[in-house]
Chains A and B, each alone.
Chain A
Amino acid sequence: MTEILKINNICKSFSGVTVLKNINFSIQKGELHAIVGENGAGKSTLMKIIAGELEPDDGKIYLNGTEVKFHSPIDAIRAGISLIHQEFSLVPQLTVYENIFLGREISKKFLKINFIDKKAMKKAALEVLKTFGMLNISVDSKVKNLSVADKQLTEIAKALSTNSSILIMDEPTAALTLRETELLFSILKNLKAQGVTIIFISHRLEEIFEIADVVTVLRNGELVGTKKIDEITMEEVVSMMVGKSMKSRFPEKPIRAISDEKVLEVKNLSSDAFKNVNFVLHKGEILGIAGLVGCGNMQVGESIFGLRDFDGEIYLEGKRVDISKPTDAIKAGIFLVPEDRHDLGLVLQRSVKENHALPNLDLFSEFGFVSQKEEKQSVRASISYLNTKVSSINQRVDNLSGGNQQKIVLGKWLVRSPKILILDEPTRGIDIGAKYEIYKFMYDQALKGVSIILISSELAEVLSLSDRILVMSEGRITGELDPKNASQEDILKFAVKGKES
């Protein structure tokens, strides 16, 4: 193996805050190199420096043994390094092949005028897709009609068409289903076999252990270590990331007896996304609803919170309740922590205080006037209970990390003493430390008698936290499992039921 990229003593700080400190490591040609670390560890900054989006304050980058200095992403692309962002840089209205050649259109001359040569572009695009086994994408489709996974592949194809020898991917699997992830991985393996070097950021350690050759761990802007994947265990990676040895990723489940008291019962819930959903939720129970993305579990949660139209009956503590909008659910003591907190959970440009208070203003106000004192007390209490890290309660929430944002969303419902919490992918996109805290918080609430519906596609999470697991597939409940004697394979078996036929 030959060294393709060498990072030497890279330092970077933003307005006096050190983000990267003396980073040294090297990457071999054709390896899949995973970069892990908690949010704020400096992964994205380091990747942006390698891809020319940021310039380091100090240190050197060697590409194939010679020093390179990138002043813009174009410099890096010319040198063969492409960064694929979590947010894609594709133009939705254009087709796949137009996107692949955006800014580098192939043209032909006619009467001395350059015209775009669509035929040649299509052919070249098809060639790229073929070479790397991405044949499921049609070069003529408009990008806006593609699935997230296919958009990602288009983005990769775009990078490869510039003859990139190093591909950097920032959390490529965050928005993919299991099946799409598998497809992406097989393509990455294919790329590797053809000599492409891949740098891969992910929060999902299972994935890294499945596909990476080498893993580099960052913590607080410092490099903790670079290890071959077969010389390290997942627990060791976790403790390198968090800096202390954490026995496992999950806190110990408190031993408790769950009463037979039915808090929630749904009967024959149906909508365009799910059919005939029936289940019971007991007091203090954590009920997992697992399934692959698109199985309808998220829509069930949103329906019970009043965000979607549905048919069927909901009984709360034995009494029929009519929930047609979120206000109805809020009045009934049913709260949703949504899967996409930026979309449904937070007003990003407003402060921590205002976001916390938004659904609770009726509690803090008299004759329509907000009591500043009560409001502040409430937000402070919530922040300290959840260990939320904010510089001030007047800080805008878009400046917080994912974990802290999630804690704001959770915290705002706590004020209203929930009966039922619907947590939809509660730990998506947040780091291990914050995940652990959110799990502890869930147990704490369950011990206080709050019933929790945990909607998740992370199987390890569902297995470890739930008291009972329902599995959905194609909008139907296909199985019920006791996590004490079930495995991830058992869940998957039910999760793909009805898919084959």
Chain B
Amino acid sequence: MNALSNGFIRKYGVIFGLVGIIIFFAIESPNYFFTPSNFILISKQSSINILLALGQMFVILTAGIDLSDGAIAGLVGAVAAGVTVTTGNLFLGLIAGLGVGIGFGIVNGIIVAFAKVPAFIATLATMSAITGITLIYTQGEPIWNLPSSFDFIGQGSLFDIPFSIILMALSFVVVWIILERTKYGRHVYAVGGNIKASRAAGVKISSVLISVYAISGLLAAIGGIILASRLGTAEPTAGSGYELDAIAAVVLGGTSLFGGEGWVVGTIIGGYIIAVLNNGMTIMNISAYYQEVVKGLVILLAVMLTSFGKKYWNE
């Protein structure tokens, strides 16, 4: 009884939250907000954050955190753009970018798994280092003159669906399958829930820890490439701040910061809540300064309601 209702609020509460926000903006702005084209726009706007959030979720499920994924996204955008421009080969640029993302993810994982540095400190340090490396690599200048094939990733469409949305949807499906249906996914949840019991059950802890940061790095890399491609230029500071939106999406989606509990669909909905808020408030002509305040309050309210709901159901 308790188990059911407890899980119910945590799992589905966020859906009511999203629906509530959508209804609010639909009433306020039926002509601009509540239109199919605007929903495609929202999806496009949320795609980068959701990609980062999906990676972040793996890390948070193991009771860690990845503060460096925004910085990785920024560096990867620059490397992918830079290599594409200098070699004239898009494929090489993408490989280099994805490699850099996975590589720094593995570095994070090794620091956490072997040097036993708490994830918060480890990734705070690598965030700073990676941001610096991006500035060194770009010499602080944006990278221009990207070929049109590069622009396709963030701006193009396939069957009238923006390519970035397709990438996001594919990543969601793959992540869902990994977490819900594979041995590896079970190990991720178990390590986050009880690392000692997992070890006693024969789970290889260090490979699970390193791989979750690698996955976070990979998804941040995809996000970073979309970002550079959408802007048509790789800005050296493009990724900064993305890590916090990604963490917010994961937490809004009901994943426990203590690890071991979380739902992929929740993370997607969490990402959409943030995107709908940004979009709706812009349509309502609310100043960007106020938007940040409202976003903060909504996140706080949502998390408080979830924990209040849990308490209420448990009584």
Partner of B190, one of A354, A369, A395: A354
Question: Taking CB as reference atom, which chain A residue is nearest B313?
Answer: A15
- Give the complex CA separation of A305 and B181 in angstroms: 29
* A: contact size bracket: 20 to 34
Chain B residues within 8 Å of A344, by CB? 196-197, 200
A365 to B186, CA, bound (A): 11
CB <8 Å contact, B3 and A395:
yes
Please give the distance in Å from A344's CB to the nearest CB on chain B.
Answer: 5
The distance from the CB of B7 to the nearest CB of chain A, in whole angstroms, is 8
CB of B193 within 8 A of CB of A345, answer no
Q: Name B258's closest neighbour in chain A (CB-CB).
A: A349
Query: Does B202 contact A350, Cβ atoms closer than 8 Å?
Result: no
Do A350 and B182 have beta carbons less than 8 Å apart? Answer: no
Q: Which of A360-390 contact B (CB under 8 A)?
A: 361-362, 365, 368-370, 372
Nearest B residue (CB) for A375: B186
Question: Cβ of B182 and Cβ of A347 under 8 Å apart?
Answer: no
Known interface pairs A326-B200, A326-B201, A395-B3. Does A354 touch B186 (Cβ–Cβ under 8 Å)? yes
Are A345 and B197 touching (Cβ within 8 A)? yes
Shortest beta-carbon distance, A99 to chain B, in Å? 27
**A350 contacts B201, CB within 8 Å?**
no
| Contact status B203-A358, CB under 8 Å | yes
In the complex, what distance in Å separates the CA atom of A359 from the CA atom of B198?
A: 8
Question: Is the Cβ of B194 less than 8 Å from the Cβ of A305?
Answer: no
Interface residues of A in 305-359 (CB under 8 A from B): 305, 307, 325-327, 330, 336, 338, 343-350, 354, 357-359
How many chain-B residues does the 8 Å CB contact rule pick out? 26
Residues of chain B contacted by A350 (CB below 8 angstroms): 189-190, 193, 260
Contact A358 B186 (CB under 8 A): yes
> In the complex, A464 Cα to B184 Cα: how many Å?
43
B311 within 8 A of A: no
The answer to the question of B27 belonging to the interface, with a C-beta cut-off of 8 Å to chain A, is: no
Contacts of A370 in B (CB 8 A): 181-183, 186
Which chain B residues border A358 with CB–CB below 8 Å? 186, 190, 197-198, 201, 203
Q: Take A362-B183, A369-B182, A396-B3 as given contacts and tell me if A347 and B200 are in contact as well, using a CB distance cutoff of 8 Å.
A: no
Chain A residues within 8 Å of B189, by CB: 347, 350, 354
A399 CB within 8 Å of chain B:
yes
Tell me, in angstroms, the Cα distance from A46 to B184 when the chains sit together.
44
Residue of A nearest to B260 (CB): A349
Give the chain A neighbours of B261 by CB distance below 8 A: 349
- Report yes or no: A327 in contact with B202, Cβ–Cβ below 8 A: yes
Distance between Cα atoms of A391 and B5 in the complex (Å): 14
Taken together as a complex, chains A and B put the C-alpha atoms of A325 and B182 apart, in Å, by 24
Chain A nearest CB from B218 CB (Å) reads 17
**Cα–Cα, bound, A442→B260 (Å):** 32
Q: Would you call B115 an interface residue if the criterion is a C-beta within 8 Å of the partner chain's C-beta atoms? A: no
Closest CB-CB distance, B44 to chain A, in whole Å?
A: 32
Q: Which residues of B contact A325 (CB under 8 A)?
A: 199
A171 and B194 alpha carbons, distance in the complex (Å)? 26
Instruction: Considering the complex, give the chain B residue whose CB is closest to the CB of A362.
Output: B183
B236-273: CB near A (< 8 Å → 1, else 0) gives: 00000000000000000000100011000000000000
B residues 253-301 near A (Cβ < 8 Å) are: 256, 260-261
From residue B186, how far is it (CB to closest CB) to chain A in Å?
Answer: 6
Provide the residues of chain B in CB contact with A327, threshold 8 Å. 202, 204
B2 touches A (CB below 8 Å) = yes
Contact of B183 among A15, A365, A412 (CB under 8 A): A365
Among A17, A336, A370, the one with the most B-chain Cβ atoms within 10 Å of its Cβ is A370
- CB of B158 closer than 8 Å to a CB of A: no
Q: Are A347 and B3 in contact (CB under 8 A)?
A: no
Is there an interface contact between B186 and A361, defined as CB atoms closer than 8 Å? yes
Contact with A along B42-63 (1 / 0, CB 8 A): 0000000000000000000000
* Nearest CB in chain A: distance from B204 CB, A: 7
From A359, A369, A395, B201 is in contact (CB under 8 Å) with A359
CB distance from A499 to the nearest CB of B (A): 31
B193-A348 in contact (CB<8A): yes
Within 8 Å by CB of A338, from B181, B193, B200, lies B200
CB neighbours (8 Å) of A399 from chain B are: 2-3
On chain A, the residues within 8 Å of B201 by CB distance are: 326, 330, 358-359, 412
A358 to B193, CA, bound (A): 12
Report if A359-B183 is in contact (Cβ < 8 Å); known contacts: A344-B196, A349-B260: no
Known contacts A326-B199, A358-B203, A370-B181; is A347 also within 8 Å of B194 by CB? yes
Collect the chain B residues with CB atoms within 8 Å of residue A17's CB.
1
Contact indicator B193/A347 (Cβ below 8 Å): yes
Q: Which residues of B contact A361 (CB under 8 A)?
A: 183, 186-187
User: Once the chains bind, are A369 and B181 in contact (CB under 8 Å)?
Assistant: yes
Q: Is the CB of A359 within 8 A of B202?
A: yes
Residues 261 to 304 of chain A near chain B (Cβ within 8 Å):
none
A347 to B202 CA separation, bound complex (whole angstroms): 13
| Smallest CB separation, A366 vs chain B (Å) | 10
Which A residues are in CB contact (< 8 Å) with B204?
Answer: 327
8 Å CB interface, B195-234 against A: 196-204
Measured CA separation A399–B193 after assembly (Å): 15
Would A305 and B200 count as touching, CB distance under 8 A? yes
What's the Cα separation between A102 and B196 when bound, in Å? 34
In the complex the two chains form, what is the Cα distance from A184 to B197 in whole Å?
32
- Tell me the complex Cα distance, A345–B199, Å: 10
Interface residues of A in 377-432 (CB under 8 A from B): 391, 395-396, 399, 412
A36 to B8 Cα, complex, angstroms:
35
Measured CA separation A330–B198 after assembly (Å): 13
| Docked complex Cα distance between A349 and B184 (Å) | 18
**What residues of B have a CB within 8 angstroms of the CB of A345 in the complex?**
197, 200
Q: Smallest Cβ distance from A358 to chain B, in angstroms?
A: 4
Task: Tell me, rounded to whole Å, the shortest Cβ–Cβ distance linking A14 to chain B.
Answer: 8
A395's nearest neighbour on chain B, judged by CB, is B3
CB nearest to B189 among chain A residues: A350
Q: Which residue of B lies closest to A17 (CB)?
A: B1
Bound-state CA distance A305–B200 (Å) is 8
CA distance A361 to B189 in the complex (A): 13
Q: Which residues of chain A come closer than 8 Å to B1, judged between CB atoms?
A: 15, 17
Contact residues of A between 468 and 497, Cβ < 8 Å to B: none
Chain B 148-175 per-residue mask, 1 if CB under 8 angstroms from chain A, else 0: 0000000000000000000000000000
A323 → B minimal CB distance (Å): 12
Assembly CA distance A113 to B45 (angstroms): 58
Q: Are B184 and A347 in contact (CB under 8 A)?
A: no
Determine how close the nearest CB of chain B comes to the CB of A453; give it in whole angstroms: 16
Q: How many angstroms from the CA of A236 to the CA of B253 in the assembled complex?
A: 54
In Å, the complex CA distance between A17 and B2 comes to 12
Please measure, in the bound complex, the distance between the C-alpha atom of A345 and the C-alpha atom of B270, giving whole angstroms: 33
A347-B197, A361-B183, A399-B3 known; 10 new pairs, CB 8 Å cut-off, are A15-B2, A305-B200, A307-B200, A327-B204, A345-B200, A347-B189, A347-B190, A348-B194, A370-B181, A399-B2
Closest 3 CB pairs of A and B: A347-B193, A359-B201, A361-B183
Q: Provide a sorted-by-A list of 8 A–B residue pairs whose CB atoms are within 8 angstroms.
A: A343-B196, A347-B189, A348-B193, A354-B190, A357-B186, A358-B186, A361-B186, A365-B182
Residues of B at the A interface (CB closer than 8 Å) are 1-3, 7, 181-184, 186-187, 189-190, 193-194, 196-204, 256, 260-261
- Residues in chain A within 8 A of chain B (CB atoms): 15, 17, 305, 307, 325-327, 330, 336, 338, 343-350, 354, 357-359, 361-362, 365, 368-370, 372, 391, 395-396, 399, 412
